[in-house]
């Protein structure tokens, strides 16, 4: 199969960097599985291989073959790094343990070592997002890695992955969201709404016991983004009122303390003791 016949390669001009090759036992055996240069998943290999979805993938490849090609970078002669297709290649490695003569024709796209890094990163993200293999949390990990390790600017990321600025920032922040947001809400509500819920949860935990805050959060997760923005403003106002319950004014040698609370006689006594101790009088 000629690379020029593939629509992806026509758009990205990849034909000048590599070619389609057969997948064989020798190719699978020469992949450097410990090289994570382009790995997008947060899971380790052992966790992936014990998942039911991985077992289903293994059975699917065994019975019907490999439907989509994998991308490899030829690091040196007969040494390959995975660009895209980690799970499929792990499944193939397991398959070749029992069927080492099997051939998957024209299912490996081998790119030369001089392929630009930008091209390789594009493939790594583009292939996984289009196939929906990446979770939002994994995308967050990838975006942070691109920004810190690869030195790619925000503008370059927006252009490269064709996403809006607010969506990019929300996805990038997702890796630092509260665990309950990451684990139970992020994938279902999306990154922008999850970002709002994360900010709301921070306020709720300052105002309520943890269990109550979580319960309120669950109710808020069903609201629209506009409703959540209004909720956030309301919580900010509530917190401002609670944190501004006293005021201190200074005028030359006079300091005035105003407390906006209905205090008991006991409270008054404690304040008097505190200030006497503070002023040593």
pLDDT > 70? residue 5 = no
Instruction: For residues 250 and 205, state if they share a domain.
Output: no
pLDDT > 90? residue 30 = yes
In this structure, the dihedral spanned by the alpha carbons of residues 202, 158, 38 and 109, taken in order and rounded to 10 degrees, is 140
Looking at residue 198, its pLDDT comes to: 95
Instruction: For residues 114 and 195, state if they share a domain.
Output: no
Band (pLDDT 50/70/90 cuts) for residue 7 is very low
Instruction: For residues 199 and 270, state if they share a domain.
Output: no
What is the overall mean pLDDT for the chain?
82
- Comparing 40 with 28, which gets the higher pLDDT? 28
Looking at residue 1, its pLDDT comes to: 43
How far apart CA 128 and CA 120 sit, in angstroms, is 12
Relative to beta strand 70-76, strand 104-111 is parallel
Domain count for the chain: 4
Instruction: For residues 126 and 141, state if they share a domain.
Output: no
72, with CB counted inside 10 A (0-12, 13-18, 19+), is buried
Lowest-pLDDT range of 16-25, 202-211, 268-277:
268-277
Looking at residue 60, its pLDDT comes to: 81
Looking at residue 93, its pLDDT comes to: 95
pLDDT > 60? residue 8 = no
Band (pLDDT 50/70/90 cuts) for residue 43 is low
pLDDT > 70? residue 11 = no
Domain range for 198 is 180-243
Summary count for the chain: helices (H), strands (E): 15, 6
How far apart CA 90 and CA 85 sit, in angstroms, is 9
Q: Span 208-216, mean pLDDT?
A: 93
Strands laid side by side in the 79-84 sheet: 18-23, 104-111, 70-76, 79-84
Q: What is the pTM of this model?
A: 0.49
Instruction: For residues 237 and 263, state if they share a domain.
Output: no
Band (pLDDT 50/70/90 cuts) for residue 12 is low
Instruction: For residues 140 and 155, state if they share a domain.
Output: yes
Q: Span 237-246, mean pLDDT?
A: 74
Looking at residue 2, its pLDDT comes to: 41
Lowest-pLDDT range of 31-45, 92-106, 139-153:
139-153
Instruction: For residues 128 and 11, state if they share a domain.
Output: yes
Instruction: For residues 126 and 13, state if they share a domain.
Output: yes
Instruction: For residues 108 and 143, state if they share a domain.
Output: no
Instruction: For residues 154 and 211, state if they share a domain.
Output: no
Q: Span 159-163, mean pLDDT?
A: 73
Domain end, chosen from 74, 108, 132, is at 132
Band (pLDDT 50/70/90 cuts) for residue 143 is confident
- Comparing 134 with 26, which gets the higher pLDDT? 26
- For 73-83, b where at least 16 C-beta lie within 10 A, e where not — what string? bbeeeeebbbb
Instruction: For residues 153 and 274, state if they share a domain.
Output: no
Looking at residue 185, its pLDDT comes to: 87
Instruction: For residues 56 and 25, state if they share a domain.
Output: yes
């Amino acid at each position: 199969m000629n690379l020029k016949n593939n629509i992806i390669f026509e758009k990205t001009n990849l034909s000048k960097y590599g070619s389609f090759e057969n997948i064989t036992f020798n190719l699978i055996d020469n992949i450097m599985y410990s090289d994570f240069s382009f790995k997008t998943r947060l899971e380790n290999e052992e966790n992936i291989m014990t998942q039911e979805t991985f077992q289903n993938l293994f059975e699917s490849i065994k019975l019907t073959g490999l439907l989509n090609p994998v991308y490899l970078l030829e690091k040196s002669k007969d040494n390959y790094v995975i660009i895209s297709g980690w799970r499929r290649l792990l499944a193939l490695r397991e398959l070749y343990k029992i069927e080492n003569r099997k051939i998957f024709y024209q299912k490996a796209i081998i790119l030369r070592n001089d392929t630009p890094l930008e091209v390789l990163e594009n493939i790594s993200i583009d292939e996984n997002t289009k196939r929906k293999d990446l979770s939002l949390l994994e995308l967050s990990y990838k975006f942070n890695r691109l920004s810190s390790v690869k030195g790619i600017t925000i503008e370059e990321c927006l252009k490269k992955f064709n996403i809006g600025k607010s969506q990019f920032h929300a996805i990038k922040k997702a890796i630092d969201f509260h665990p309950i947001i990451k684990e139970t809400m992020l994938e279902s509500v999306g990154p922008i709404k999850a970002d709002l819920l994360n900010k709301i949860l921070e306020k709720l935990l300052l105002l309520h016991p943890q269990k109550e805050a979580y319960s309120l959060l669950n109710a808020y997760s069903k609201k629209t983004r506009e409703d959540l923005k209004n909720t956030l403003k309301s919580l900010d106002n509530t917190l401002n009122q609670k944190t501004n319950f006293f005021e201190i004014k200074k005028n030359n040698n006079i300091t005035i303390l105003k407390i906006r609370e209905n205090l008991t006689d006991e409270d008054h006594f404690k304040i008097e003791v505190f200030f006497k101790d503070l002023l040593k009088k």
